[in-house]
Amino acid sequence: MVPVFVAFFMLLPGILQAQGAEAPALQLTHPPGQTPSPAVITLQDALDRAKNLDVGLQSALLDAQTAGEDRAQARAARLPGVTERTQYLGTQGNGTLPSGRFVTNDGVHVYREWGILSQDVSANTILGTVYKRAQAAEAFAKAKAEVALRGLQVTVTKNYYALVTAERKYGTAQLGLQQAARFLQIATDQERAGQTAHSDTVKADLQYQQSKQAFDDATLAMDNAKLNLAVMLFPAINENFTVVDDLDTPQALPSFADAQAMAEKQNPDLRAANEALRQTGFDVKAARNAFLPSGGIETDYGIEANAFALHSSVAADPDRRVLPNLGYFVTATLNIPVWDWGTLRSKLRQSEFKQKEAQITLSQTQRQLQTNLYLFYNEATAARSAVESTRRASQLAAESLRLVLLRYQAGESTVLDVVDAQNSLIQTRNAYDDAETRYRIAIATLQQLTGGF
């Protein structure tokens, strides 16, 4: 289509000069500090840049990392813990007993240096209920991060191809302006030669002015599209980049059966709903396990003596010889729930309510996935068909304009025929560009459900 208008570039300077002084070209304001060498951005480059700047995605990724730390903490909580404790107990003496005023002490000065090994024992610890719930929570957070990533990919794709389309429409408007200028020149020359009426020149001039306004509007739309994309790609506003126009090399649309299979296996919304249900299932188990006995074992090894030493005498019995201080003791605890005014049962019912809610959410997600899969796939199919039809229409419009111009110069068509052919070419070219963009966005939207293909 573009070669049809290549010759018009050669005629444009003389045509504009023949029309006399025109309004100055549209001047738009741009951010300062642009470097002379623009960066070339592909769609993948745009996606990579946007990932690092998007607040929603980064927040979701940090949530997933936080959930990973929760899982690590839950795993560590199942294992024995080791601590070290140093204590000094100073007791007021009473002047008579060497143990001081307090019955529990055996001296005015008591030193403790213990290494403590402790282990909680409960049904949740043995079965790993809390740890498994943390695993499900991490998987849920990762699925939500994938949802955010795929949503960002659709947004970036829309903005990227909005700029590509705006640039194409800018070129189309530029060609339309050149064509209108050429036709105005033809009409003017034929009026001077007495071959056409002055009304044809007026109509041609009107078409030229409308094309000039359309060109200015296309310039503004392209600039706005570039700003909208720039704010997603750069930490500071920067318009010094160009995008690669790859609309003519679209991705192939898989069969519906393949798309359905990918959606069932790779859909993050469905995975998030399943993991949310898993979490509530472990919450129910934890609430039930709370009715069972629990306990703990603590082993202490070290010294508890009247001197900070491995051997010393007992202050309460100074006649005894020096004895070793190192030793151990074990404390075992068993807790049996007896009465809590219904708190444990209330927590169990509460967790069961949340589990039921998660089941309803999962069911809704499954139905919505099936519906969206049909909607998005049919949209991609229709968009692909629109690309083929509008491509053919734009080719026919270009040929129609060429023939109408030849007939007009031969006096066989009217000025209205020429104007109509010019407008048809602009409309069909823009429709073709819109159809290609629509197909790309439809593919990106479908991949929200299926993942890449």
Helical segments of 234-321, H only: 256-266, 268-289
Residue 183: how many other CB atoms lie within 10 Å: 27
Whether the pLDDT of residue 394 is over 70: the answer is yes
- Does this model's pTM top 0.75? My answer is yes
**CA pair distance 161, 155, nearest whole angstrom:** 10
pLDDT band at 14 (very low <50, low <70, confident <90, very high): very low
Query: Distance (Å, rounded) from C-alpha 438 to C-alpha 446?
Result: 12
- Give the pLDDT score at 93: 77
pLDDT at 13 over 70: no
The model's confidence at residue 32, banded by pLDDT at 50, 70 and 90, is low
Question: Is 449 in a helix, a strand, or coil?
Answer: helix
Query: Who wins on pLDDT, 118 or 6?
Result: 118
Residue 11 is predicted with a pLDDT of: 38
The 10s digit of each residue's pLDDT in 228-278 is: 999 999 998 888 899 999 988 888 999 999 999 999 999 999 999 999 999
User: Which of 50, 241, 164 lies closest to 440 in space, CA to CA?
Assistant: 164
pLDDT at res. 179: 84
Distance CA 364, CA 269 (A): 11
415: tokens are: 């000025």
The per-residue pLDDT of the chain, averaged, comes to 87
Residue 438 structure tokens: 């629509």
Confidence grade of residue 33 (pLDDT, cut at 50, 70, 90): low
Residue 17 clears pLDDT 50, i.e. is over it = no
Task: Name the percent of the chain lying above pLDDT 70.
Answer: 91
- Among 94-98, 108-112, 220-224, 325-329, name the one with the lowest average pLDDT: 94-98
What's the CA gap between 402 and 418, in Å, rounded?
9
Q: Which residue has the higher pLDDT, 232 or 196?
A: 232
Q: Measure Cα distances from 121 to 85, 331, 365, 434 in Å.
A: 22, 13, 39, 65
pLDDT bin (cut points 50, 70, 90) of residue 182 is confident
Least confident of 95-109, 115-129, 323-337: 95-109
Q: Is the pLDDT of residue 21 over 50?
A: no
The answer to whether 159 and 232 have CB atoms below 8 angstroms apart is yes
Give the pLDDT confidence score for residue 288 in this predicted structure: 95
The predicted-structure confidence for 128-166, as pLDDT tens digits, reads as follows 999 999 999 999 999 999 999 999 999 999 999 999 999
DSSP assignments along 112-130, one per residue: EEEEEEEEEE-HHHHHTHH
What domains sit in the chain, N to C, each tagged with a CATH number? 2-19+37-78+128-292+341-450 (1.20.1600.10), 82-125+293-336 (no CATH)
pLDDT attached to residue 8: 38
* pLDDT value for 103: 65
Place of tokens 């005014």: 341
pLDDT one-digit tens code per residue, 279-323: 999 999 999 999 999 999 999 999 988 888 888 888 777 677 788
Please answer whether residues 436 and 387 qualify as being in contact, where contact means their C-beta atoms are separated by less than 8 angstroms: yes
Please state, for a pLDDT cut of 90, what percent of the chain lies above it.
64
Residue 356 has a pLDDT of: 97
* pLDDT tens for each residue of 342-357: 999 999 999 999 999 9
**89 — pLDDT class (breaks 50, 70, 90):** confident
**pLDDT at residue 102 in the model:** 64
Q: For residue 441, is pLDDT > 90?
A: yes
CB 100 within 8 A of CB 94: yes
- Residue 53 CA to residue 164 CA, distance in Å, equals 22
Cβ density class 349-388: b for 16+ within 10 Å, e for less: eebeebbeebeeebeebbeebeebbeebbebbeebbebbe
Q: Is the pLDDT of residue 215 over 50?
A: yes
